[in-house]
A and B are shown apart, each in its own frame.
Chain A
Amino acid sequence: MKTAINPAITVGLALICLFLMGCGESRAPFAGTYQSVAPYAGKGHIKLVLKENGEGTWTLEGKSVKFKWRVSEGRIWLYTKEGGIIIVTPTQGGKILSADMTGEWHPGCPRDKCIDFQQVEARP
């Protein structure tokens, strides 16, 4: 039996599925302003701002670096403009963020390569 089907419908359905699969988790729970628990590099504290639109800034001594971020499986992924990834694990309901500076994810965030941030303001 030869059956004529409309390939356009199939492709459309497939693309809708792909679109839905591509949607990430909500950034809202983690949007806010954070400050590093300890001073960084003998200088001041790092100010980390996570905006709900996926943009973010990392500010140290007045110098800001922009990055993008998203949430996946409860973790925050920061993307530098060079393509580097920093995986941040939130704890205490997002009040504390632990950034793994190795560029990979390691359980518990290795202490010598980990920067902890504390939330100072929710949703900037």
Chain B
Amino acid sequence: MADPNERSAFVGAGLKLEQVGREITVPAGTCIVRQGEPPKHFYVVKSGKLRVFRQTSDGIRTDLTELGPGDYFGEVALVTGQPRTASVEAVQDSHLLQINKEEFDWVLDHNPQLARHIIQQLSHWLVTGDRRLEQEVIHQAKLRQISWFDYVLMLGLSIVIALVFNLYNDNRIPLVQGWGEKNEIPHISLSQALQAHQQKEAIFVDARKNGFYEQRHIQGALNLPVIYFDLMYPLFQFTLANLEGAKDKPLIAYGGTISRRFDLELARQLKDKGFEKVMTLGSDYLAWPQAFPLEEGKPRKPAHIPLGLAGFLEWLPVGIFLLILIPSIRRSPYLSVVCRVLLGIIFIQFALSKIMRPGVFALNVVDYGLMPAWGVNLWALVLPWAELITGLFLILGIRTRAAATLIGGMNIIFIVGLIHAFYLDLPINCGCVGEAGEPVTWWKVLKNVGMLLMAVQIFLYDRLFVLDRGGFIWRERKI
């Protein structure tokens, strides 16, 4: 194929065109030679306009050049004997001179000037091809590059925005629950508490949510969920008033998870209401299920509230999961774009359901029983902003590999949490998209696995519509 700068060189080489070939006319849109086909002819453009392009097996098309009157193409495959290296299609109705291989060989044998010109042309292409290859490699390397800065940028933004937003949010929460507060509630050891229980010398108050209480509680314990303390306290008072000898007995608040969110807070609030003898279990506060006689039942698990669009979107990762199983689609950069948009929208929805009320999400975090006290509120504040920022980065095509890594990391944490909750049969709300009405099921795990695979697909194959260090990359790239 002739370089546009070399137009008419062929004519100027002294070959008498009328001696060989036959003239053909091709209408616009006709593909004259196809990439990969065995070569049969050499062409000279007499009039019209043609486009030379290459296309990969996964559909990425690269326009190489355009040809006009005086240009020629098809000589590379004839000289090398290899299949066509590119396709040529007519952009306008074009008039061409078609020369077969025998004629082409004859022309080369009888026109050394032309043969030399073609050799020079091929050498020129080799050199410029090397340069283009180098530029493309550098570009791709930049595109694939992940630096710590990407992670620092996204996590730093999430933390800073979360903390600033919390300052101005009507529903703000402390960074660490109970931090700086002096704990004046006395502790009681497990053995002493057990003795008091056996001798009916104390009233045990379960501070957890009703679902946990119904599932398992110390025999005879009352339930006063600390999250509804103000609303339920009158009922608690009423129950105590009807309990024989309750007036003089100490209250032992229990039900602390690893975060001790419930029992300590309940004890504080009971103390504020005027109960003098309030205690919590000491360092072995998690051991009560093994030490005490229990009353067990089947808890009411959260029922499924229709989530509307959010619920529908959550199913799409399962569909993508199936698509990823198909080898020819798995590596498609177009699938990466679809994955990015979907995952971005899903994570933004996750974020929006939690951002305004971090206190509600913090209780969801507590329910999983995996986060220590100091981390609950920080996690509840920062995670929704991390979901929002990484989701936006994915949709906008900014630092997509790093965003996909972070989203994949979050998915792994969610999957571990869900399996943990499922394994322990915790009567909790998932806290994924909605604030309530989202039972923990294996479908939730599967959806998260689907999202994890989408993140991996983006990490490995994303390269289109991205704003990388070299600028915005669109679908078609002219080289």
Contacts and interface: CB of A to CB of B under 8 A. Distances in A.
A binds B: yes
Interface in B262-316: 265, 300, 302-303, 305-306, 308
Nearest to A107: B303
A105 B303 contact: yes
Contacts of B68: none
B302 A104 contact: yes
Interface in A80-104: 80-87, 101-104
Interface in A58-96: 58, 60-61, 63, 65, 68, 73, 75, 77, 79-87
Interface string B335-374: 0000000000000110010001101101100000000000
Question: Is the interface on chain A under 10, 10 to 19, 20 to 34, or 35 or more residues?
Answer: 35 or more
B318 to A, nearest CB: 22
Interface string A24-67: 00000000000000001111000000000000001011010100
A71 to B, nearest CB: 13
Interface in B435-479: 435-437, 467, 470-474, 476-478
B166 interface: no
Interface string A1-34: 1111101001100100010011000000000000
Given A14-B392, A104-B429, A104-B437, A65 B231 contact: yes
A5 B238 contact: no
A11 B393 CA distance: 10
B302 A105 contact: yes
Given A7-B396, A41-B234, A83 B362 contact: yes
B225 interface: yes
A103 B471 contact: no
Contact of A58 (B231, B348, B476, B478): B231
Contacts of B234: 40-41, 43, 60-61, 63
B472 A2 contact: yes
A41 B348 CA distance: 42
A113 B436 CA distance: 16
B352 A18 contact: yes
B235 interface: yes
Contacts of B348: 18, 21
Nearest to A104: B302
A102 B301 CA distance: 10
B461 to A, nearest CB: 20
B82 interface: no
A79 B395 contact: no
A104 B429 CA distance: 8
A86 B471 contact: no
Given A22-B352, A104-B429, A73 B395 contact: no
Contacts of A104: 211, 300, 302-303, 429, 436-437
Contacts of B225: 84, 103
Nearest to A61: B234
Interface of A: 1-5, 7, 10-11, 14, 18, 21-22, 40-43, 58, 60-61, 63, 65, 68, 73, 75, 77, 79-87, 101-107, 110, 113
15 contacts: A1-B474, A1-B478, A2-B474, A4-B471, A40-B235, A43-B234, A58-B231, A75-B305, A81-B359, A82-B228, A83-B173, A84-B228, A85-B435, A86-B231, A87-B436
